[in-house]
Structure 1
Amino acid sequence: MRRHCFTYGSLMCADIMAAVCGVELAGEPATLADHRRHPVRGEAYPGMVPAAGAAVSGVLYRDLPPDALARLDAFEGPQYVRVTVHVQLPDGAAVEADTYMFRPERADELLPGEWDFDRFLREGKARFQHQYMNTHCR
Protein backbone atom coordinates (compact mmCIF):
# COMPACT_ATOMS: atom_id res chain seq x y z
CA MET A 1 0.00 0.00 0.00
CA ARG A 2 1.35 3.42 -0.93
CA ARG A 3 1.71 6.06 1.78
CA HIS A 4 2.34 9.79 1.89
CA CYS A 5 5.38 11.17 3.74
CA PHE A 6 5.82 14.56 5.41
CA THR A 7 9.44 15.73 5.49
CA TYR A 8 10.83 18.68 7.41
CA GLY A 9 14.63 18.60 7.08
CA SER A 10 17.16 17.33 4.56
CA LEU A 11 14.48 15.27 2.80
CA MET A 12 12.68 18.47 1.75
CA CYS A 13 15.38 18.58 -0.96
CA ALA A 14 13.97 16.59 -3.88
CA ASP A 15 17.43 15.33 -4.89
CA ILE A 16 18.13 13.94 -1.42
CA MET A 17 14.66 12.40 -1.18
CA ALA A 18 15.11 10.72 -4.59
CA ALA A 19 18.52 9.35 -3.61
CA VAL A 20 17.18 7.93 -0.35
CA CYS A 21 13.96 6.49 -1.80
CA GLY A 22 15.37 5.27 -5.09
CA VAL A 23 12.57 7.01 -6.99
CA GLU A 24 11.84 10.60 -8.05
CA LEU A 25 8.86 12.08 -6.24
CA ALA A 26 7.05 15.40 -6.58
CA GLY A 27 6.70 17.32 -3.34
CA GLU A 28 4.27 19.99 -2.23
CA PRO A 29 4.24 22.39 0.73
CA ALA A 30 2.55 21.22 3.92
CA THR A 31 2.49 22.18 7.60
CA LEU A 32 2.33 20.07 10.74
CA ALA A 33 0.71 21.83 13.70
CA ASP A 34 1.79 21.44 17.32
CA HIS A 35 5.34 20.36 16.50
CA ARG A 36 8.76 22.02 16.40
CA ARG A 37 12.03 21.06 14.73
CA HIS A 38 15.33 21.56 16.48
CA PRO A 39 18.95 21.24 15.37
CA VAL A 40 20.56 17.94 16.33
CA ARG A 41 23.87 18.36 18.15
CA GLY A 42 26.79 17.98 15.73
CA GLU A 43 24.58 17.32 12.70
CA ALA A 44 23.24 19.27 9.72
CA TYR A 45 19.74 17.74 10.00
CA PRO A 46 16.91 18.45 12.49
CA GLY A 47 14.77 16.42 14.83
CA MET A 48 11.05 17.09 15.27
CA VAL A 49 9.13 16.83 18.54
CA PRO A 50 5.62 17.72 19.73
CA ALA A 51 5.25 21.35 20.85
CA ALA A 52 1.83 22.84 21.52
CA GLY A 53 1.17 26.00 19.54
CA ALA A 54 4.18 25.61 17.24
CA ALA A 55 4.12 24.49 13.60
CA VAL A 56 6.61 22.96 11.19
CA SER A 57 6.63 23.82 7.49
CA GLY A 58 7.79 21.02 5.27
CA VAL A 59 7.24 19.05 2.09
CA LEU A 60 4.66 16.33 1.52
CA TYR A 61 5.52 13.54 -0.90
CA ARG A 62 2.53 11.49 -2.01
CA ASP A 63 2.15 7.83 -2.89
CA LEU A 64 5.52 6.42 -1.84
CA PRO A 65 5.88 2.77 -2.79
CA PRO A 66 6.52 0.33 0.09
CA ASP A 67 10.17 -0.16 -0.86
CA ALA A 68 10.73 3.62 -0.62
CA LEU A 69 9.34 3.63 2.93
CA ALA A 70 11.61 0.72 3.84
CA ARG A 71 14.57 2.70 2.51
CA LEU A 72 13.46 5.75 4.52
CA ASP A 73 13.15 3.65 7.69
CA ALA A 74 16.72 2.42 7.22
CA PHE A 75 18.02 5.89 6.38
CA GLU A 76 16.42 7.59 9.40
CA GLY A 77 17.99 5.10 11.79
CA PRO A 78 17.67 4.76 15.56
CA GLN A 79 17.15 8.45 16.39
CA TYR A 80 13.72 8.47 14.74
CA VAL A 81 10.43 6.60 14.81
CA ARG A 82 7.92 6.68 11.95
CA VAL A 83 4.47 7.89 13.04
CA THR A 84 1.26 8.88 11.28
CA VAL A 85 0.21 12.53 11.43
CA HIS A 86 -2.23 14.87 9.72
CA VAL A 87 -0.65 17.74 7.80
CA GLN A 88 -2.35 20.77 6.35
CA LEU A 89 -1.96 21.86 2.74
CA PRO A 90 -1.97 25.53 1.68
CA ASP A 91 -5.62 25.19 0.55
CA GLY A 92 -6.62 24.06 4.05
CA ALA A 93 -7.06 20.38 3.21
CA ALA A 94 -5.79 17.85 5.76
CA VAL A 95 -3.80 14.84 4.57
CA GLU A 96 -2.70 11.78 6.53
CA ALA A 97 1.02 11.12 6.17
CA ASP A 98 3.90 9.31 7.80
CA THR A 99 6.73 11.35 9.29
CA TYR A 100 9.81 10.69 11.38
CA MET A 101 9.71 11.98 14.96
CA PHE A 102 12.82 12.28 17.09
CA ARG A 103 12.69 9.62 19.80
CA PRO A 104 11.88 11.15 23.23
CA GLU A 105 14.62 9.12 24.92
CA ARG A 106 17.17 10.91 22.71
CA ALA A 107 15.89 14.44 23.41
CA ASP A 108 19.22 15.40 25.01
CA GLU A 109 20.69 15.37 21.48
CA LEU A 110 18.44 18.26 20.41
CA LEU A 111 19.66 21.84 20.68
CA PRO A 112 17.43 24.79 21.63
CA GLY A 113 16.05 26.98 18.88
CA GLU A 114 14.56 26.37 15.47
CA TRP A 115 16.42 24.46 12.75
CA ASP A 116 16.97 26.73 9.72
CA PHE A 117 16.35 25.18 6.28
CA ASP A 118 17.87 28.12 4.39
CA ARG A 119 21.04 27.79 6.48
CA PHE A 120 21.07 24.05 5.73
CA LEU A 121 20.94 24.80 2.01
CA ARG A 122 23.79 27.34 2.29
CA GLU A 123 26.05 25.64 4.81
CA GLY A 124 25.00 22.07 5.57
CA LYS A 125 23.65 20.37 2.47
CA ALA A 126 26.99 19.61 0.81
CA ARG A 127 28.43 18.24 4.07
CA PHE A 128 25.27 16.22 4.68
CA GLN A 129 25.38 14.71 1.21
CA HIS A 130 29.04 13.82 1.60
CA GLN A 131 28.55 12.25 5.06
CA TYR A 132 25.24 10.45 4.65
CA MET A 133 24.33 10.00 1.01
CA ASN A 134 27.40 7.98 0.03
CA THR A 135 26.97 5.71 3.06
CA HIS A 136 23.19 5.22 3.21
CA CYS A 137 21.95 5.48 -0.38
CA ARG A 138 23.42 2.65 -2.40
Structure 2
Amino acid sequence: MQHCFTYGSLMCEDIMSAVCGAQSRFVAASLDGYRRRPVVGQAYPGMVPAAGARVAGVLYLDLPESAWPRLDRFEGDEYERREVLVRFEDGRTETAWTYVFRPEYAARLGEGEWDFERFLATGKARFTAQYVGFDTLGDEGAI
Protein backbone atom coordinates (compact mmCIF):
# COMPACT_ATOMS: atom_id res chain seq x y z
CA MET A 1 0.00 0.00 0.00
CA GLN A 2 1.22 3.45 -0.92
CA HIS A 3 0.01 7.04 -0.75
CA CYS A 4 -1.22 9.23 -3.63
CA PHE A 5 -1.06 13.04 -3.71
CA THR A 6 -3.89 14.51 -5.77
CA TYR A 7 -4.32 18.12 -6.86
CA GLY A 8 -7.23 18.25 -9.30
CA SER A 9 -10.43 16.31 -9.93
CA LEU A 10 -9.18 13.45 -7.75
CA MET A 11 -9.25 15.74 -4.71
CA CYS A 12 -12.99 14.94 -4.75
CA GLU A 13 -13.44 11.82 -2.66
CA ASP A 14 -16.33 10.53 -4.79
CA ILE A 15 -14.30 10.75 -8.00
CA MET A 16 -11.18 9.22 -6.40
CA SER A 17 -13.19 6.34 -4.94
CA ALA A 18 -14.84 5.63 -8.29
CA VAL A 19 -11.51 5.69 -10.13
CA CYS A 20 -9.70 3.53 -7.55
CA GLY A 21 -12.54 1.13 -6.93
CA ALA A 22 -11.97 1.60 -3.19
CA GLN A 23 -12.23 4.24 -0.50
CA SER A 24 -9.16 5.43 1.38
CA ARG A 25 -8.47 7.76 4.27
CA PHE A 26 -7.21 11.18 3.19
CA VAL A 27 -5.66 14.35 4.62
CA ALA A 28 -4.80 17.82 3.35
CA ALA A 29 -1.22 18.12 2.09
CA SER A 30 0.90 20.27 -0.19
CA LEU A 31 3.74 19.76 -2.63
CA ASP A 32 6.62 22.23 -2.95
CA GLY A 33 8.35 22.90 -6.26
CA TYR A 34 5.31 22.39 -8.50
CA ARG A 35 2.58 24.50 -10.06
CA ARG A 36 -0.97 23.48 -11.07
CA ARG A 37 -2.12 24.86 -14.45
CA PRO A 38 -5.37 24.44 -16.37
CA VAL A 39 -5.43 22.05 -19.33
CA VAL A 40 -6.88 23.95 -22.30
CA GLY A 41 -10.46 22.91 -23.03
CA GLN A 42 -10.70 20.66 -19.97
CA ALA A 43 -12.02 21.01 -16.42
CA TYR A 44 -8.93 19.36 -14.90
CA PRO A 45 -5.35 20.63 -14.34
CA GLY A 46 -1.84 19.49 -15.11
CA MET A 47 0.95 19.86 -12.59
CA VAL A 48 4.47 20.84 -13.66
CA PRO A 49 7.74 21.55 -11.84
CA ALA A 50 8.10 25.21 -10.85
CA ALA A 51 10.77 26.53 -8.50
CA GLY A 52 9.35 28.40 -5.52
CA ALA A 53 5.77 27.28 -6.15
CA ARG A 54 3.51 25.11 -4.00
CA VAL A 55 0.40 23.05 -4.82
CA ALA A 56 -2.29 22.39 -2.21
CA GLY A 57 -3.96 19.03 -2.50
CA VAL A 58 -5.20 15.87 -0.86
CA LEU A 59 -3.08 12.90 0.17
CA TYR A 60 -4.89 9.56 0.01
CA LEU A 61 -3.30 7.14 2.44
CA ASP A 62 -2.51 3.47 1.93
CA LEU A 63 -4.12 2.85 -1.45
CA PRO A 64 -4.49 -0.84 -2.30
CA GLU A 65 -2.31 -2.25 -5.09
CA SER A 66 -5.44 -2.70 -7.21
CA ALA A 67 -5.88 1.11 -7.35
CA TRP A 68 -2.64 1.86 -9.20
CA PRO A 69 -3.42 0.29 -12.62
CA ARG A 70 -6.81 2.04 -12.50
CA LEU A 71 -5.19 5.40 -11.68
CA ASP A 72 -2.57 4.93 -14.41
CA ARG A 73 -5.32 4.28 -16.99
CA PHE A 74 -7.40 7.21 -15.75
CA GLU A 75 -4.46 9.64 -15.97
CA GLY A 76 -3.46 8.42 -19.42
CA ASP A 77 -0.44 9.25 -21.56
CA GLU A 78 -0.26 12.95 -20.68
CA TYR A 79 0.81 12.21 -17.11
CA GLU A 80 3.68 10.29 -15.58
CA ARG A 81 3.54 8.84 -12.10
CA ARG A 82 6.32 10.31 -9.99
CA GLU A 83 7.43 9.80 -6.39
CA VAL A 84 7.45 13.06 -4.42
CA LEU A 85 7.76 14.34 -0.86
CA VAL A 86 4.54 15.99 0.33
CA ARG A 87 4.04 18.17 3.38
CA PHE A 88 1.26 17.91 5.95
CA GLU A 89 -0.25 21.03 7.51
CA ASP A 90 1.77 20.40 10.70
CA GLY A 91 5.05 20.38 8.74
CA ARG A 92 5.68 16.62 8.70
CA THR A 93 6.55 15.10 5.35
CA GLU A 94 5.67 11.82 3.65
CA THR A 95 6.66 10.11 0.41
CA ALA A 96 3.83 9.63 -2.08
CA TRP A 97 3.11 9.07 -5.74
CA THR A 98 1.57 11.80 -7.86
CA TYR A 99 0.87 12.39 -11.53
CA VAL A 100 2.93 15.09 -13.27
CA PHE A 101 2.05 16.49 -16.70
CA ARG A 102 4.62 15.28 -19.25
CA PRO A 103 6.74 18.04 -20.87
CA GLU A 104 5.90 16.88 -24.39
CA TYR A 105 2.27 17.91 -23.78
CA ALA A 106 3.10 21.34 -22.27
CA ALA A 107 1.45 23.17 -25.18
CA ARG A 108 -1.91 21.91 -23.86
CA LEU A 109 -1.48 23.86 -20.61
CA GLY A 110 -3.15 27.24 -20.21
CA GLU A 111 -1.86 30.28 -18.38
CA GLY A 112 -2.46 30.99 -14.72
CA GLU A 113 -3.36 28.72 -11.84
CA TRP A 114 -6.10 26.07 -11.88
CA ASP A 115 -8.77 26.85 -9.28
CA PHE A 116 -10.27 23.94 -7.30
CA GLU A 117 -13.17 26.02 -5.94
CA ARG A 118 -14.10 27.03 -9.49
CA PHE A 119 -13.92 23.36 -10.51
CA LEU A 120 -16.37 22.45 -7.75
CA ALA A 121 -18.74 25.26 -8.73
CA THR A 122 -18.64 25.00 -12.52
CA GLY A 123 -16.52 22.10 -13.74
CA LYS A 124 -17.18 19.02 -11.63
CA ALA A 125 -20.58 18.18 -13.12
CA ARG A 126 -19.23 18.55 -16.67
CA PHE A 127 -16.14 16.50 -15.79
CA THR A 128 -18.18 13.73 -14.19
CA ALA A 129 -20.55 13.57 -17.18
CA GLN A 130 -17.63 13.53 -19.63
CA TYR A 131 -15.84 10.73 -17.79
CA VAL A 132 -18.83 8.55 -17.00
CA GLY A 133 -17.50 5.01 -16.68
CA PHE A 134 -14.36 5.77 -14.72
CA ASP A 135 -15.81 3.69 -11.92
CA THR A 136 -15.38 0.62 -14.13
CA LEU A 137 -11.68 1.11 -14.87
CA GLY A 138 -9.64 -2.04 -14.53
CA ASP A 139 -6.63 -3.62 -16.09
CA GLU A 140 -8.57 -4.19 -19.31
CA GLY A 141 -11.12 -1.37 -18.90
CA ALA A 142 -11.05 1.94 -20.66
CA ILE A 143 -12.85 5.20 -20.37
Query: Counterpart in 2 of 1:76?
Result: 75
Count of aligned pairs between the two proteins: 136
Give TM-score scaled by structure 2 length: 0.93
Please state if 1:24 is matched with 2:35: no
Matched residues in 2 for 1:136 and 1:80: separation?
17
Letter in 2 for 1:137: D
| Deviation readout 1:80-116 (Å, 9 max, x if unpaired) | 0000000000111110000000000000000010000
SS in 1 for 2:66: helix
Counterpart CA distance in 2 for 1:103 and 1:11 is 18
Q: List alignment gaps of at least 5 residues for structure 1.
A: none
Kept after mapping to 1: 8 A contact 2:4/2:98: yes
Mapped contact 1:85–1:96 kept (Cα < 8 A): yes
- Distance in 2 between the 1:26 and 1:65 partners? 12
Letter in 2 for 1:27: F
CA distance in 2, matches of 1:4, 1:40: 24
Q: Which structure has more helix as a fraction of its residues?
A: 1
Instruction: Give the letter for the 2:2 counterpart.
Output: R
Task: Please report how far the alpha carbon of residue 27 of structure 1 lies from its aligned counterpart in structure 2 after TM superposition.
Answer: 1.3
Provide the secondary structure at the position in 2 that maps to 1:88: strand
Shift of 1:137: 2.4
Instruction: Output the CA distance in 2 between the equivalents of 1:100 and 1:32.
Output: 12
What value does the CA root-mean-square deviation take over the aligned residues? 0.7
- The answer to whether structure 1 residue 8 and structure 2 residue 3 are counterparts is no
Quote the residue 1:101 is aligned against: 100
Structure 1: distance between partners of 2:14 and 2:100: 22
Letter in 2 for 1:68: A
Q: Contact 1:14–1:26 (CA<8 Å) still a contact in 2?
A: no
Give the SS at the match of 2:77. helix
- Asked whether the 8 Å contact 1:31–1:57 carries over to 2, the reply is yes
